[in-house]
Amino acid sequence: QKEVEQNSGPLSVPEGAIASLNCTYSDRGSQSFFWYRQYSGKSPELIMSIYSNGDKEDGRFTAQLNKASQYVSLLIRDSQPSDSATYLCAVHNAGNNRKLIWGLGTSLAVNP
Amino acid sequence: DVKVTQSSRYLVKRTGEKVFLECVQDMDHENMFWYRQDPGLGLRLIYFSYDVKMKEKGDIPEGYSVSREKKERFSLILESASTNQTSMYLCASSFPATKGGELFFGEGSRLTVL
């Protein structure tokens, strides 16, 4: 079992729809959770961080964390073609030598 | 505007050459990291550093070394480049442990070893 798992996709949604990206993790001691966006040929960019159970909203993005079920998700409302990218989930346990554990990413395509 | 700057965007080297990849950040971050990213393998941590003159091995340190003589600069060294080190290399920095997952990445250095 991988430490952080994501569906590789591609996830294809029409413009204006809600894109839902999911991530599960295995380390119950994880405390911090992050979503990075990576455009093709570019480096990852942090778009959301979440540290406690529940929802966190930032513009069109909502991160959801459920520690009991060990999953974190990212919702993108009113998806735009510019949201087409790979979304990387990363999980952090400060006690685990402070290293981030990365998923392999989900490729999202938003179709006009 | 905060920045992580990598010295070279594209490099082509020959097998056996010594390769230096340099990274400078202007955010006064304690933590710095070197990753490589390959299709299907994702981001893999090579080395990291939480302080000047300090370094720790990541998950794939073989064939690499690092240097951190100043807080803002973290260099990755390939002592004798091999074709399996052809990859995208990403430098990142972050604040200390409480926000250790909030990484700022450089633009990346795409290395081809022939």
Helix, strand, coil share (%) of chain B residues, nearest 5? 5, 55, 40
What pLDDT score was predicted for residue B61?
A: 97
Q: Which of B87, B103, B107, B109 to mutate to test the interface with A (most CBs of A within 10 A)?
A: B103
What pLDDT score was predicted for residue B101?
A: 81
Query: Over 60: is that where the pLDDT of B98 sits?
Result: no
Q: Mean pLDDT in chain B?
A: 93
Contact state of A32 with B101 under an 8 Å Cβ cutoff: yes
What pLDDT score was predicted for residue B1?
A: 66
pLDDT in tens, chain A (112 residues): 679 999 988 999 999 999 999 999 999 989 899 999 999 999 999 999 999 999 999 999 999 999 999 999 999 999 999 999 999 999 998 776 667 899 999 999 999 9
What residues pair up with B94 in beta bridges, in sequence order?
B31
What pLDDT score was predicted for residue A97?
A: 65
Confidence of residue B44 (pLDDT cuts 50, 70, 90): very high
C-alpha to C-alpha distance for B65 and B72, rounded to whole angstroms: 17
Using CB atoms, which residue from A34, A42, A103 is nearest to B102? A34
What pLDDT score was predicted for residue A96?
A: 65
Query: Tokens 């073989």, residue?
Result: B62
Query: Over 70: is that where the pLDDT of B93 sits?
Result: yes
Instruction: Please state whether the peptide bond connecting residue A112 to the residue before it is cis, i.e. omega within 30 degrees of 0.
Output: no
What pLDDT score was predicted for residue A109?
A: 97
Q: Do residues B106 and B5 make contact, with C-beta atoms less than 8 angstroms apart?
A: yes
Dihedral, B3, B4, B10, B16 alpha carbons, nearest 10? 160
Confidence of residue B36 (pLDDT cuts 50, 70, 90): very high
Contact state of B106 with A45 under an 8 Å Cβ cutoff: no
C-alpha to C-alpha distance for B86 and A94, rounded to whole angstroms: 31
Contact state of A88 with B40 under an 8 Å Cβ cutoff: no
What pLDDT score was predicted for residue B75?
A: 97
C-alpha to C-alpha distance for B71 and A51, rounded to whole angstroms: 28
What residues pair up with B24 in beta bridges, in sequence order?
B5, B73
The model's pLDDT over B2-27, given as tens digits with 9 standing for 90+, comes to 699 999 999 999 999 999 999 999 98
What pLDDT score was predicted for residue B12?
A: 97
Say yes or no: B40 contacts chain A, CB-CB below 8 A: yes
Say yes or no: B21 contacts chain A, CB-CB below 8 A: no
